[in-house]
Structure 1
Amino acid sequence: MDTNIDFKKIWNTQEVQKLEIADLYKKADRLKRYKRYQLMGANAILLITSCIIGGIWYRYQPEYVTTKIGLVLAILAMIIFLIPYNRWISLLKTNEGDNNKTYLRQLMQLKQKQIFQQKWMLSIYFVMLSLGIALYLFEYVSKMTGFWGIVVYTATLLWIGINWWYLRPRVIKKQNAKLDELLQKFEELNNQIQE
């Protein structure tokens, strides 16, 4: 009886494990591709919105300084949100030669950046944008009757509240679930290989 057992050879002959690893890499690549498209979409939408805001400023020439400050705050909020978000680009590149430790490290860095973006930058974005909208509306609401002014501000605050307390947490939870699932599987894979 041969006592010299090659465990590495036995491990490598497991077909199910190889398919699972390949599937895991595909899921990670799909997530990175999805995040790249999401990044490009956010850039396009926020830059177009900033141009529209600038066009409104140019076209309608607001009289009150509060309106101008509101427009500047809205544009600044978008730029401040995009600056750290665009730093994700290096983590979203897919290299064919990357091993599972590299994927795990990149996913962990992506998770840290995503948490920072969700916790701090999104909060700053919402506060600045809300304040900008409130200041922008002041000039036009001041020309309305009291009833319609209250209606406009109530509707605006209601929409901001729905975005902050309902939509934002759902989006954050969904984004974190996808990334957490991949992180967990890569950690399990690394632990199996190290054992």
Structure 2
Amino acid sequence: MSRRVWFVPPALNASLRQARFDDGAALDEAGRAAARAAASSLPTPALAVVSGSRRCRETAGLLGLGPATAPDALAAPDTGSWRGRTLAEVSGTSPEDVGRWLGDPEFRAGGGESVADVCARVSRWLDALDGEAAVPDGGLVIGVVEPELARAAVVHALGAPLSAFWRCDVAPLTVTELSGRGGRWNLRCGRPLVGEN
């Protein structure tokens, strides 16, 4: 069965603007306005999913995605003791750890998850969509997910090495589109929700 999956990173909030590891902050007013402006550009999906973070849930609601499920596989990455700290703060106290995190896909950020862990769970979720009865053949799945999950999906779709994870820039409120079946995915990256579709 053919599937279409759109990954949409959340609108901006103060944490994303500060390069802060998710601290549960709400969207800021600019982020809410951007999400509301983008709402009319999304079609109705066969299935809506969301990362469980507050910014993703709020973005999904403002985009009009209605009831969205939050599969464990699409949870925000666990950054352990780094949660709530800025990248600059962590770099100032643990520069070696930041270097390892950016260079070694097996390194566990702040004692939490590694890039390899995140990529593995997103890959399993994507591959399981072939058996998902809730999504008809050709049906669209829209997920409002943390940017790291969209990166993981790109790595999986391309069969790229895990080192490619940090080479993918994923902007807020853009669409990373996958289409395919049987573990083979095609990719279209970075289309803005507002504007050209």
TM-score, normalised by the number of residues in structure 2: 0.33
Q: Radius of gyration: which is bigger? A: 1
* Larger helix proportion of the pair: 1
